[in-house]
Amino acid sequence: MANIKVSNLFKEVKPSPMLQMFEAASKYTDIISLGIGEPDANTHESIIKAAADAGKNGFTHYPPVNGFLDLRQAVSQYWEEKYGLESTPDNVIISAGATQAIYLVLQALINPGDEVIVPDPCFTPYMQAIEYVYGVPVPVSLKEEEGFNMTAEALEAKITEKTKIVMLNSPGNPTGAVISREEALKVADVIKKHDLILMSDEIYEAFIFDGEHVCFATLPDMQERTFTIAGFSKTYAMCGWRVGYAIGPKNIINIMKIINIGTTMSMNSISQKAALYAIQNCESEVDKMVEDYSKRVEYAYERINNIKGLSCIKPKGAFYIFVNIKETGMKSMEFGMKMLEEARVITIPGISFGPNSDDYVRISCTIPIEQMEEAFNRIEKALS
């Protein structure tokens, strides 16, 4: 029998608490999931028709490695019209979801031992992607009393001579935090002071309930050092189509294009044509979805703060709530398993999102209010 040895990088790899929770849930019936981080709506039928038409019209061959020109033009136009970010198609690369765009930036820029500052809590794959390119993730603990936003002071305290990239996410997953323009300017000043690179994950830019979305690349003297990450999964309910992108300095985007030849080669042709139709024609559908999610988030916020042992601050964007469970006396995995076993409700342990987030769980407001009501009824009963 062959003695196949796993790579040293992956021999200690373990499933995240998030994956463990979903695997544990597969044993039960009558489950209500507050864990899924994607819109519950199906992709709009007009987008699906655009994809079918593209297939019928011959878009079944290899596309350009960096994405179709018309889609890159549309992405560039979208960000200029909506946020004032001036770019050309050469500044854009289309990727297999926003997660791949993040990975391509890291592959292009990180040398072994380089430090990447990340928020804690943060989207779980940030840490994995940094480690996969032999970088060192440096978490900055976000404070609930500061709205779960990274402050300039907290960022400054973590910078060393090895720091190369700062990763930010607003609106944020798992917190729903939205950074103010005032604080964003202060953070940008720290990044410029230390000559760092910013990777700004703005995948939830359309989901703003309170305040405004700040596009970091439009702040003074930030465009030359910023990679804006976004995509179609959340905004257009297209998670399964896997279309994301990065906007950044064209010399690095070109390197990412070359790297992509050795990974996915190019992005799905038909999905790109569906995405092109969506970004050009579906803003009214986006507005309806955001309005609906705003109501769901408002309901969940009120309900959580009326359950003994739980509390939360009101999210300003995205569709998540980071629930404080300290008063229950449980850490996040214990709480999550209790809710699964006794209430048949899936929540995501905070430890999934960073080492300093074990006193929280994430819930997603991605199911109808009627289902959320039943889920919270079950949680309240289990905690009583």
Q: What angle do CA 76, 78, 84 make, to 5 degrees?
A: 85
**So what's the pLDDT on residue 198?**
98
Residue by residue, DSSP assigns 133-196 as TT-EEEEEEPPGGGTT---HHHHHHH--TTEEEEEEESS-TTT-----HHHHHHHHHHHHHTT-
Residues 130-179 have pLDDT tens digits of 999 999 999 999 999 999 999 999 999 999 999 999 999 999 999 999 99
**So what's the pLDDT on residue 7?**
86
Task: Please check whether residues 221 and 254 belong to one and the same domain.
Answer: yes
As a whole number of angstroms, the distance between CA 222 and CA 274 comes to 31
Among 253, 281, 309, identify where a domain stops. Answer: 281
**Is 4 domain-assigned?**
no
**So what's the pLDDT on residue 25?**
81
Task: Please check whether residues 229 and 365 belong to one and the same domain.
Answer: no
Domain holding 267: CATH number?
Answer: 3.40.640.10
**Is 175 domain-assigned?**
yes
Task: Please check whether residues 22 and 58 belong to one and the same domain.
Answer: no
**Hey, which residues does 120 pair with through a beta bridge?**
141
The whole domain housing 107 covers 45-281
Task: Please check whether residues 138 and 261 belong to one and the same domain.
Answer: yes
Task: Please check whether residues 359 and 264 belong to one and the same domain.
Answer: no
**Is 181 domain-assigned?**
yes
Task: Please check whether residues 185 and 83 belong to one and the same domain.
Answer: yes
Task: Please check whether residues 203 and 121 belong to one and the same domain.
Answer: yes
234 φ, ψ to 5°?
-85, -50
Exposure string (b/e) for 335-362, b if CB count within 10 Å is 16 or more? bbbbbbeebbbbbbbbbbbbebbbbbbb
Q: CA–CA distance from 143 to each of 28, 119, 148, 149, 258 (Å)?
A: 35, 10, 5, 7, 39
Please tell me whether residue 322 adopts helix, strand or coil conformation.
strand
**So what's the pLDDT on residue 17?**
78
Hey, what amino acid is at 137? P
Average pLDDT score over residue span 370-383: 97
Instruction: Give 18's pLDDT tier (boundaries 50, 70, 90).
Output: confident
Domain holding 354: CATH number?
Answer: 3.90.1150.10
- The DSSP letter of residue 325 is -
Task: Please check whether residues 205 and 337 belong to one and the same domain.
Answer: no
Q: CA–CA distance from 85 to each of 88, 145, 214, 365 (Å)?
A: 10, 31, 11, 30
| Residue 42, number of CB atoms within 10 A of its CB | 11
Total number of domains constituting the chain: 2
- How high does pLDDT run on average in the chain? 95
**Is 6 domain-assigned?**
no
Task: Please check whether residues 303 and 176 belong to one and the same domain.
Answer: no
Task: Please check whether residues 152 and 121 belong to one and the same domain.
Answer: yes
Beta strands 348-349 and 360-364, pairing class: antiparallel
Alpha helix (H) ranges present in the chain?
A: 17-25, 45-56, 69-83, 98-109, 125-132, 152-158, 181-193, 250-261, 269-281, 283-304, 332-338, 369-383
**Is 316 domain-assigned?**
yes
Instruction: Give 357's pLDDT tier (boundaries 50, 70, 90).
Output: very high
**So what's the pLDDT on residue 3?**
84
Residues 212-225 have pLDDT tens digits of 999 999 999 999 99
**Hey, which residues does 115 pair with through a beta bridge?**
136, 163
Cα 47 from chain centroid?
Answer: 22
| Residue 4, number of CB atoms within 10 A of its CB | 5
Among 143, 142, 281, 296, which residue's Cα sits nearest to residue 209? Answer: 296
pLDDT at residue 247 above 90?
yes
Among 145, 227, 214, which residue's Cα sits nearest to residue 186? Answer: 214
Exposure string (b/e) for 243-258, b if CB count within 10 Å is 16 or more? bbbbbbbeebbebbbe
Please tell me whether residue 315 adopts helix, strand or coil conformation.
coil
**Is 7 domain-assigned?**
no
Task: Please check whether residues 257 and 366 belong to one and the same domain.
Answer: no
As a whole number of angstroms, the distance between CA 347 and CA 335 comes to 9
Residues 250-289 have pLDDT tens digits of 999 999 999 999 989 899 999 999 999 999 999 999 999 9
As a whole number of angstroms, the distance between CA 57 and CA 41 comes to 27
**Is 12 domain-assigned?**
no
Among 244, 265, 281, identify where a domain stops. Answer: 281
Sign of the four-CA dihedral 77, 245, 289, 363: negative
**So what's the pLDDT on residue 36?**
86
pLDDT at residue 14 above 80?
no
**So what's the pLDDT on residue 224?**
97
As a whole number of angstroms, the distance between CA 200 and CA 320 comes to 19
Task: Please check whether residues 75 and 179 belong to one and the same domain.
Answer: yes
**Is 76 domain-assigned?**
yes
Among 164, 242, 152, 256, which residue's Cα sits nearest to residue 203? Answer: 242
Average pLDDT score over residue span 180-207: 98
More confident residue, 74 or 21: 74
Among 259, 281, 303, identify where a domain stops. Answer: 281
